[in-house]
Amino acid sequence: MDVFDTLCEIMRQFPDNYNAETKYRMEALFASCVEDMETDSQKLLATLLIKALNKKIHSESIGENIYLNKYEISQIQLFNILIEKFPFVKYSQQITNNAILEVIRQNTEVTIIDIGIGQGTQMVNVIESAKQLTHLKKMVIVGIEPFEDALRQAETVINSYAGKVPFEIEFTGIHGFAENVDFSAIPQLSGAVIVNASLALHHIQSARQRSETIARIKKINPAAFILIEPNVNHYEPDFYTRFINCYNHFYSIFQVIDRIDISQNDKNALKLFFGREIEDIIGKEEKDRYEKHEPATHWIGRLRENNFSVKNEFLHPPVRSVYGVEIDSHAEGFLGFTFEKETVLAVIYAN
């Protein structure tokens, strides 16, 4: 049984031709994949896709017991793997942070607006790196975050640097979504403004809201606007096309995970971490979906429509190849992370 071909046949039947025979084939494929999923990335991916489809059809999970605690690791351990080992996160953050620091080197005062600041980890890394810059007088960090607990944690950790770094540091928290923020109304934008959006803007639900958000950012004339975004079309409304996009994207991610120097249990835990995104992309109704990724060229198009200049040459990867991932500039205007034929992730610099 060819896993991909069988999976394609099943997905192609949904929703119009899904019937008892398709359901039987889906359950048979699931049972076959479960047997080897611990050591076979393709089969683990297939189980996640089937689980997502089944939940979409029946509003219930299939084979839930096989996942319970099987590959469970702590959030801290998972986070450390992502930051220290997973090349898409590790090197895209390094590239972005270095680009931010290059702007800071040219200014005595800066404001960093971090869209989706989370618990502030990336900004802490920027602060730590900026400690060596003796010319810097003031850094203002504006954190935009819909999850209040994370925002409060970011505020606490960033404010803890006050008096411990050779420059003044201020934090402003905005509890909400980027598409609802009037960037021009943010108080005390000090010095050069840098806008950082790391894996954040694809959560904006509509194309119109995405363009309007970028237009509002342009009004504050940032010295740099840096985006990290998955380079895949999960905004695609056609279910089967979206499935193919999803499969190719996560197949490449899983292949890279297999190459990382971590335990098999940690590899599987990391793959299951992406299962939540797969469920969103395949298993939810359109109105409930959250992970609406778009290709980098779509973001670049919006930036240019709003009079941003795209400056690919300002992004400098610390490595060119790691774990089979090639990091290189693309003529369309982004720095891409490519595994074999699939460019999984993009970093975009505009001003």
Please report which confidence band the pLDDT of residue 140 belongs to, taking 50, 70 and 90 as the band edges.
Answer: very high
Q: CA 82 from chain center: how many Å?
A: 11
Supply 326's token pair.
Answer: 């090639």
Q: Which of 17-21, 294-298, 309-313 has the lowest mean pLDDT?
A: 17-21
Give yes or no for a cis peptide into 15 (omega within 30° of 0): yes
Please report the pLDDT score of residue 1 as a whole number. 62
Identify each DSSP E strand in 258-302 by its residue range. none
* pLDDT average, residue stretch 301-310: 97
pTM exceeds 0.85: yes
pLDDT, one tens digit per residue, over 76-98 is 788 888 888 999 999 999 999 99
- Given pLDDT bands bounded at 50, 70 and 90, which one contains residue 22? confident
Phi-psi region of 274 (alpha: psi -120 to 50; beta: other; left: phi over 0): alpha
Q: Residue 70 pLDDT more than 70?
A: no
Report which of 42, 54, 8 is spatially closest to residue 253, judged by C-alpha positions.
Answer: 42
Amino acid occupying residue 111: T
Domains defined along the chain, listed by start:
3-70+239-284 (no CATH), 81-231+293-350 (3.40.50.150)
Given this model, what pLDDT does residue 344 score? 98
Single-letter code of the amino acid located at 99: A
Using CA atoms, how far residue 281 sits from 177, 247, 276, 288, in Å, is 20, 10, 9, 10
The pLDDT mean for the chain works out to: 91
Q: Locate 208 and state its tokens.
A: 């119109």
